[in-house]
Amino acid sequence: MSMKRIIVVGASSGIGAAIAAEYSARGARVALVARREEELKARCEELGAPITDPNQMPIFRAHDVSGDDVQEVYNEVVASLGGIDVLVYAAGVMPETAPDEFNSSKDRQTVLVNTVGAMQWLNCAATDFQERGSGALVAISSVAGDRGRTGRPAYCASKAGLNSFMESLRNRLVGKGVTVLTVKPGFVRTSMSEGIQGGALLPVVAPEVVAKAVYNGVQKRKNTIYVPGRWRLVMWIIRMIPGFIFRRTTI
């Protein structure tokens, strides 16, 4: 699979930054997109330090995915990169939500960033990849999208919506040479997961572990991957728990 030019949306920190670093280290030209310009600049300088070929230098573009200028920004970034082979959507938010809180403002922002922003960016690349008959679309979802938990309902719903959107894209595009990869990490050590404790069976992993899994998943043209892989079995069991029992648990 050709992976020469890649856009990572949500690349200023955490999983997106690690994916940008993984692809850059493997010789791809990377465009980093997110809101925090200073963070993007710093990431670009780090990635660019060992690179001598000007055609491989990483670039960045500050952008808020909840705006309605996605197509313009996409066109601009693709023109600067000289084309696109892989689009990774890693932007996401998970606002703190108390167990008895119902907050539409937080929920709206969650769905705007995690789902609507993803649809907008993925649609732009899907149009190009469909026409060309190649390319890879990747979305960083979460195990949280597999079941409606009592904690953070909008986060679970935003990821469930993203999973369903990715499945539809895959069903449309798989016969046209396009890879559509849904990534479902468990616990990953980033600012989003501060305070989350893993365990021996389900540890908190480094963002670099997810980045490697994404690279391998794209190369092998996978549909859906769990990271670490044992989450697939864990979520299968959790999905089998009847609703009247599940709602009594703290899962």
Ligand X SMILES: NC(=O)c1ccc[n+]([C@@H]2O[C@H](COP(=O)([O-])OP(=O)(O)OC[C@H]3O[C@@H](n4cnc5c(N)ncnc54)[C@H](OP(=O)(O)O)[C@@H]3O)[C@@H](O)[C@H]2O)c1
Q: Which is nearer to ligand X, 29 or 159 (CB)?
A: 159
Report the chain's terminal Cα–Cα distance, integer Å. Answer: 38
Count of residues interacting with ligand X (CB under 6 A): 29
Q: Which of 23, 74, 89, 155 is catalytic?
A: 155
Provide, rounded to whole angstroms, the least separation between the CB of residue 173 and ligand X. 21
Query: Which listed range, 84-92, 128-136, 171-179, 237-245, lies at the site for ligand X (CB under 6 A)?
Result: 84-92
Residue 155 known to be catalytic: yes
By CB under 6 A, is residue 208 in contact with ligand X?
no
Query: Contact at 8 Å (CB) between 166 and 140?
Result: no
Which of 39, 46, 76, 128 forms a contact with ligand X (CB under 6 A)?
39
239: how many CB neighbours lie within 10 A of its CB?
10
Contacts with ligand X in 120-179 (CB under 6 A)? 140, 142
Shortest CA distance to 238 belongs to which of 143, 141, 142? Answer: 143
Beta strands in the chain (DSSP E): 5-9, 29-34, 59-62, 86-89, 136-140, 179-185, 224-227
As a whole number of angstroms, the distance between CA 245 and CA 162 comes to 26
What tokens appear for 143 in the block?
A: 């195990």
Q: Which is nearer to ligand X, 28 or 90 (CB)?
A: 90
Least distance from ligand X to the Cβ atom of residue 178, Å: 21
- Report, as residue numbers or ranges, the catalytic residues: 155
Binding positions for ligand X, rule: CB under 6 A: 10-16, 34-36, 39, 64-66, 90-94, 113, 140, 142, 185, 187-188, 190-193
